[in-house]
Structure 1
Amino acid sequence: MISEWKEFLTNAGAEFNDTGVVHYGNPRRELSVAITGNVFADLSHYGLISVHGDDAETFLQGQFTNDIRQVDDKHSQLSGFCNAKGRLLAIFRIFRSGDSYYLCLPSEMIEALISRLRMFVLRSNVTLEEASDTFVHLGISGADAEQELGKFASTLPEDVNDAVHDTTQTLIRIPGIHPSFEIFTTVDKAKQLWNNLNVQSAPIGADAWQLLDIQAGIPMIYPGTAEAFVPQMTNLQLIDGVNFKKGCYTGQEIVARMQYLGKLKRRMYRARIGSEQRPQPGDEVFTGDDPQQSTGTLVSAAPHPDGGFALLLVLQIGSAEGDKDLHLGSADGPLIQLEHLPYPFPDE
């Protein structure tokens, strides 16, 4: 994190862990206001990878699940990077600023993704670098987010995934249960925006922002789930993260076969549990009558203001939509209560 920005956040009451801001003194209230009110957040628990060079577009087009040719000054996208077996190594948002592409994903995934991508560069004119301190990264969400951000920027992105740039910042509209935006900007502009928002909105930490992503049904890959899912299992194709017409990329044959020839047996669901112990990505799900055979995997979790945790889970469709009880961690673990996602499955 940029030292000047960290000092500013410290003076604003931020409590930190190794990856970013945990909360501002009242985490339970932050969770509640994230769902019901207007909020803003430092997103330094996400990192950036910059990709540039004469062959950057061609190189990325041959690696990612989405069509990199559609990323320009006005459009960002969600995308995934798979291994040769079509299993996701990472999910990220891609945007372009100047002559560089930027990949935004959880900070603990940055080093592994750079190392893996460099294996494929060969003689291409492509440079990959960690760029997490290039910008201050902020998030804004709430019913009044557009109005509040409009006081700071003359032009806002209109549709989800749209981007707007000026000389000091990039604004992106992202999916959410409320109007939501991410901003990549300078320290001085970030301070100005923070002080303006702090009048009508509340600052929140990483857990509360993660809760918003879970409510919106947006998956991420973490070390515990790398290579666990093909993209369709995480609903990535339902949130415009996969392009089936773009041509070849690493793992494309498996992903396409699943789409056109296979039958999807697992997909992602939203859920709640009443556990006091925090679940971790990669935790397994079991039915109450089969303690030996896992029927699903935890994608992400965040505390819920009403207690327990909100979850995204990849589950066997038969188990999720049958009459069996689902439990996290073991057949007698916390009972899982499924909830509706904000987007439909294709057969619905």
Structure 2
Amino acid sequence: MNNWNQVLTQEQESLGATQLATGFVAAVTDQGLIAFTGEESASFLHSQLTNDVEHLGPGDVRLAGYCSPKGRLLASFLMWRTDESIFLQLPRAIQPAVQKRLQMFILRAKTKPADVSEQFVTLGIGGGDAEAMLQNWFDALPAKPFSKLDHPLGTLLRVADAFGAARYLWLTSPETASVAAPVLKERLAVGGNEGWRLSEIHAGIPQVGPGTQEQFVPQMVNFELLGGVNFKKGCYPGQEIVARSQYLGKLKRRTALASIADAAAAPGAEVFSPADPEQPCGMVVNTARNGTGGVDALVEMKLEALEAGDVRFGSASGPALQFKPLPYVLDKLDV
């Protein structure tokens, strides 16, 4: 019998919005996973991350950021817990350095981080057909975005909706994935990392990676709008700057969803406004091929450029960004 990898990675497609909205499955292989285990794991992470970890419940899934002392994001995580561990999912490309940095601050705290990326197969499933497909294995599904359930067949996380439909991450064993993969492939479009990233972009979920570390205060990438920042918790690195941006109304930048007719657009690339052609007005946060020869992207930029509606990729004479609606409202902070 073919294993899950052969079934779901040999025929990956460059999916478009229509396929994602209908139903898709993606082998998510570019994400790493850190497990913190020990009785003081929650209190340690609570002191390091932008979100509340001490009150993270067994059915909760949350976004969280890890900032430099200057309040700039070094990493962004999807976070959940079991009875034994707290898990942080982030790009594999930055996981070793981020894990090492966190470990430096553990000191005497009773917690130990471990790279558990290879212990699970991660399948991303979404679109209108997702729920019916998952009911082949699960009697019940997480009822709302950012919730989870644990099951003998693995952990099922419901993440942010996209295209008006639910999306799930199923962390399971290679054996279970090998049984499920042919069934999923028969009914759903197969997308891989690129398809999953495209669905994340249309859900408005930013992810900090190699090209964008230390570039953004959390609010610049809409992180607090997604529940990724808790302003009532105690201190963490950069907390004063993050709070000042929130309460003193100093933030003049936000992240928007747009299509760019240039397949070379990548995280960290700059965008420009013709009104001020000499200086970049923003930066690309995340991209994924959209099936039309270009990319869809989350792009951080000055609010005045976003409001003007004319933003170009690469230079003031580059291709114009075609803006699309986000699934949530941008609460502008330029007061």
Name the TM-score class by shorter chain: over 0.9
Is 1:306 the equivalent of 2:292? yes
How big is the shift at 1:97? 2.5
Q: 1:139 aligns with which of 124, 128, 134?
A: 124
Counterpart Cα distance in 2 of 1:246 and 1:78: 15
Q: Contact 1:291/1:330 (CA < 8 Å) preserved in 2?
A: yes
Q: Paired residue for 2:80?
A: 95
Q: Is the 8 A contact 1:34 1:204 kept in 2?
A: no
Alignment of 1:130-209 (within 5 A): 130-177=115-162, 178-209=165-196
User: Which string of whole-angstrom CA distances, capped at 9 and with x for unpartnered residues, describes residues 66-109 of structure 1?
Assistant: 10123232111111110111100111101112311111111112
1-structure distance, mates of 2:137, 2:109? 40
Report the Cα offset of residue 162 of structure 1: 0.8
Distance 1:296 1:169 in 2: 40
Amino acid at match of 2:291: P
Q: Which residue of 2 aligns with 1:21?
A: none
3-state DSSP class of the match of 1:102? strand
The one of the two structures with greater contact order (alpha-carbon pairs below 8 A, sep at least 6) is: 2
TM-score where L is the length of structure 2: 0.93
Q: Distance in 2 between matches of 1:41 and 1:299?
A: 21
* Residues 52/185 of structure 1: CA separation in 2 closer, same or farther (3 Å cut): same
Deviation at 1:315, TM superposition (A): 0.4
For 1:213-228, what aligned pairs fall within 5 Å after superposition? 213-228=200-215
Letter in 2 for 1:118: Q
Partner of 2:247: 260
State the shift of 1:192 in Å: 2.3
Indicate the residue corresponding to 2:113 in structure 1: 128
In the TM superposition, what whole-angstrom CA distance separates every residue of 1:178-207 from its partner, at most 9, and x where no partner exists?
A: 211111111122122223322321221211
Q: Which moved more, 1:185-194 or 1:153-162?
A: 185-194
- Partners of 2:185 and 2:294 in 1: CA distance: 28
Distance 1:10 1:347, change over 3 A: closer
Aligned-CA RMSD value: 1.9
After TM superposition, give the deviation of residue 252 of structure 1 in Å: 0.9
Check conservation: 2:21, 2:126, Cα contact below 8 A.
no
TM-score (norm 1): 0.90
Within 1, Cα distance between the matches of 2:130 and 2:324?
26
* Alpha-carbon spacing, 1:234–1:141, altered in 2? closer, same or farther (3 Å): same
* 1:336 Cα offset (Å): 1.3
Match status 1:59 vs 2:54: no
2:28 maps to amino acid: L
User: Residue 147 of structure 1 aligns to which amino acid in structure 2?
Assistant: A
**1:291 is matched with which residue?**
277
Structure 1 residues 195 and 10, CA, compared in 2 at 3 Å: closer, same or farther? closer
Aligned position for 2:27: 42
Aligned to 1:107: 92
Paired residues of 1:49 and 1:130 also in contact (CA < 8 A): yes
Task: Give the corresponding residue for 1:18.
Answer: none
Shift of 1:45: 1.1
Is residue 11 of structure 1 aligned with residue 6 of structure 2? yes
Distance 1:338 1:291 in 2: 19
Deviations 1:213-269, CA, capped at 9 Å, x for gaps: 111111000111100000000001111111111121111111111111132100100
Structure 1: segments with no counterpart, 5+ residues: 16-23
Q: 1:8 is matched by which residue type in structure 2?
A: N
C-alpha distance in 2, partners of 1:160/1:52?
25
Matched, 1:338 2:333: no
Q: Is the 8 A contact 1:86 1:255 kept in 2?
A: yes
Partner of 1:235: 222
Bigger shift: residues 241-250 or 289-298 = 289-298
Match of 1:273 in 2: 260
Structure 2 letter corresponding to 1:261: L
State whether residues 34 and 208 of structure 1, in contact with CA within 8 Å, keep that contact through their aligned partners in structure 2: no
Query: How many angstroms does 1:168 deviate by?
Result: 4.2
Note closer, same or farther for the CA distance 1:201–1:128 as it changes in structure 2 (3 Å cut).
same
Deviation at 1:144, TM superposition (A): 2.0
Query: C-alpha displacement at 1:136, in angstroms?
Result: 1.0
